[in-house]
Amino acid sequence: MSTVPFNVTTFAGEASDAVVKVLDSGWVTTGPQTAGFEQDFADHLGAAHVVAVASCTTALELCLRALDLPPGSPVLTPSLTFCGAINAILHAGHRPVLVDIDEDTLVPGPETVAAAAARVRPAAMVVQNQGGYPVDVPALAAAAGLDRTRVVEDAAHGPGAGRDGRHVGADSFAACFSFYATKNMPIGEGGAVATSDQDFADRIRAMRLHGMSKDSWRRYLPGGSWRYDVRTVGLKANMTDIQAAIGRAQLTVLPEWQRRRGELAARYDALLAGLPGLVLPQRGLDGVQHAWHLYQVRVPDRDAIIAELDAAGVSTSVHFIPANQMTAYREILGAEECGSVPVTDRVGEELLSLPLYPALSEDAQERVAAALAAALRARG
């Protein structure tokens, strides 16, 4: 019996030719393809500026560093998030302050953000579009008492998501995207910062390459100068032209993939409706365009159900094991901070992500649904 993988990464047909062209060109690191990808992705989002970087994790760290907060500043973050987003706050020299979730949306809502901000006055906040649900950034900024220029968006799940007809990142001060292999816009590895602010874009652009005032592509262009300055201490976090060429090919197919994700999510809704103990993703929110990066359900007895699905040839995943349950953060943040997110702890035990990707066949999807139905009916 073949198994249904949790994820299959698809590449546009043109991606391999595009890579060969870059290799043949003799210029493989950050250069003309990266500049072209930045323009293409900015056009796709409707954003003023995009800076391509090595990953979403480095994008988050670069943005947090570029805010120039005092060392050790409190930064609000969901605890139900990927560890890389917590690490970025710590590597930037700040203190993660954990925020609990609203159990319907699986992200912090205005109430939980306001409660955390009352506990510790935050200097900045990281928000996350869990599974492809676009958070209401102005509402969360207001709840935290923060200006929009102090909100960094973890938009790793953001491609394809929007609110009121505007794409996630279109109006952001700092939105960080991921092009990791399993994400909606896969390159393999890569990330980007979208910003409405020219100065912020310029700072990120310098900081992604050591803080140098000019990147090497421009220095080696005819008439380019060998001279550069280092005005700020940056990271080595640039994107290569090989990645960018793949990204440009992928962007042409992304709208079709998003349409397919939406169709498959609606099919899951229908296939799984009414099963005992199952909570399906929230639907029908006004003005919300969900990206369906993940199809996350909630089930009782989650760990045993994962094992049963696995035995039936269905691979699943969990997004996420809450940060407050991880050893390193418990040591750094302490038991009191890590005990401050009860909804995250309760709901975190029930979360289950089902296979969802453009290459998922309807037969395979029906096998997933049948296996989950069998596991739930045996209990309910």
Name the nearest CA neighbour of 330 among 321, 169, 63.
321
Cβ nearer to ligand PLP, comparing 173 with 180: 180
Q: How far is the CB of 275 from ligand PLP (least distance, A)?
A: 27
# binding residues, ligand PLP (CB under 6 A): 14
Query: In the window 190-209, what residues touch ligand PLP (CB under 6 A)?
Result: 191
| CA–CA dist 129, 137 (Å, integer) | 10
| CA–CA dist 215, 30 (Å, integer) | 8
Q: How far is the CB of 254 from ligand PLP (least distance, A)?
A: 16
The residue within the footprint of ligand PLP, chosen from 81, 184, 240, 344 (CB under 6 A), is 81
Within a 13 Å sphere around the CA of 218, how many CA atoms are in the beta-carbon half? 11
84 binds ligand PLP (CB under 6 A): yes
131 binds ligand PLP (CB under 6 A): no
Site string for ligand PLP, 16-55 (x = CB under 6 A): ---------------------------------------x
| CA–CA dist 137, 127 (Å, integer) | 8
Contact stretch for ligand PLP (CB under 6 A) within 152-160, 275-283, 309-317, 340-348: 152-160
Contact stretch for ligand PLP (CB under 6 A) within 1-9, 61-69, 149-157, 214-222: 149-157
In the set 21, 183, 214, 236, the catalytic residue is 183
Does 183 qualify as catalytic in the annotation?
Answer: yes
- DSSP readout, 60-79? HHHHHHHTTPPTT-EEEEES
The two structure tokens encoding residue 71: 């060392």
The residue within the footprint of ligand PLP, chosen from 154, 241, 337, 350 (CB under 6 A), is 154
Query: In the window 155-194, what residues touch ligand PLP (CB under 6 A)?
Result: 156-157, 178, 180, 191
Q: How far is the CB of 80 from ligand PLP (least distance, A)?
A: 9
Ramachandran angles phi, psi of 96, nearest 5°: -65, 130
128 binds ligand PLP (CB under 6 A): yes
Kindly report each contact of residues 134-142 with a partner whose C-beta sits within 8 Å and lies 24 or more positions away, as own/partner. 134/158, 134/161, 134/162, 134/163, 134/168, 134/288, 134/289, 134/290, 134/291, 135/105, 135/107, 136/163, 137/172, 139/110, 140/108, 140/109, 140/110, 140/113, 142/110
| CA–CA dist 178, 57 (Å, integer) | 8
What positions carry a catalytic annotation? 183
Binding residues (CB under 6 A) for ligand PLP: these are 55-57, 81-82, 84-85, 128, 154, 156-157, 178, 180, 191
